[in-house]
């Protein structure tokens, strides 16, 4: 494990590119790279204490549990909420057909994804040995025995702040309706399933296009509140395991550079 400590004076694009390059090697070796931004000497002390705590927990996991490395996550279903990063057919079913390069490598008959291959939720499904998720809005030929996908390309957390009316709260409401129509024998799958949420990029992208940077910054607390409300509503419906993605750096998206 390597911890790289940075001061603000050396924080620049080259450092980020370097760290992204190093992260490619994490799966090829036993080393793990961590980057920590130090604002002052007190922060350095805090990082050192956190490192000791992290090291102790890691050693306990490895040596205190003989079955640690052999355990595998098992979930009967996945219920996904989000935007184009995890849409598996809703956008194309509701609005328009796919155009190249979308679907060029996989899913050539019905691509349904804003990608030339798989999206993140497809990889999660593969890792859990579950079928690819069918979209809730694309009910023709769909299989909901192992979950459903409520994500829609262009969706946002806040209503009216994205490129589609299917905001996060509406997606959760669709899930509640979906659950009420499922046979009672499958209800235990809802509490044992994993709930993945990948959304928020469009709130920021739409905000940067329509408002100023300061207005976008002021909107973040409301965005987080809406996200929290959605999670609480899912929890009230029996959800217990959540996988919530962070929002990536909008300015580093390839289409931003191309446009």
Euclidean distance between CA atoms 212 and 216, whole angstroms: 6
Return the higher-pLDDT residue of 116 and 85.
Answer: 85
The pLDDT of residue 67: 53
pLDDT band for position 224 (cuts 50, 70, 90) = very high
12-16, 86-90, 185-189 — which is least confidently predicted? 12-16
- Where would I find the H helices in the chain? 13-23, 41-63, 90-94, 120-127, 168-181, 187-192, 201-210, 213-236, 254-258
pLDDT beyond 60 at 56: yes
pLDDT band for position 13 (cuts 50, 70, 90) = very low
* Full-model pTM: 0.70
């Amino acid at each position: 494990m390597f911890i790289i400590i940075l001061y603000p004076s050396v924080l620049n694009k080259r450092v980020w590119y370097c760290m992204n390059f190093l992260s490619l090697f994490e799966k090829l070796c036993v080393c793990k790279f961590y980057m920590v931004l130090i604002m002052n000497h007190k922060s350095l002390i805090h990082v050192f204490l956190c490192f000791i705590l992290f090291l102790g927990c890691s050693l306990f996991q490895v040596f205190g549990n003989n079955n640690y490395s052999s355990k595998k996550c098992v979930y009967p279903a996945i219920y996904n909420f989000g935007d184009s990063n995890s849409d598996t057919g809703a956008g194309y079913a509701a609005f328009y057909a796919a155009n190249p390069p979308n679907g060029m490598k996989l899913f050539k008959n019905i691509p349904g994804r804003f990608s030339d291959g798989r999206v993140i939720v497809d990889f999660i499904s593969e890792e859990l040995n579950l079928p690819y998720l069918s979209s809730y809005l694309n009910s023709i030929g769909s299989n909901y025995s192992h979950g459903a996908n409520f994500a829609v390309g262009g969706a946002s957390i806040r209503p009216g702040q994205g490129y589609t009316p299917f905001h996060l709260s509406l997606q959760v409401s669709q899930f509640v309706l979906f659950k009420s129509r499922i046979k009672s024998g499958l209800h235990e799958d809802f509490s044992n399933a994993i709930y993945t949420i990948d959304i928020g990029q469009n709130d920021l992208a739409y905000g940067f296009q329509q408002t100023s940077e300061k207005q976008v910054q002021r909107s973040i607390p409301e965005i987080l509140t809406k996200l929290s409300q959605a999670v609480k509503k899912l929890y009230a419906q029996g959800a217990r395991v959540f996988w919530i993605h962070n929002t990536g750096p909008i300015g580093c998206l390839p289409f931003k550079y191309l446009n």
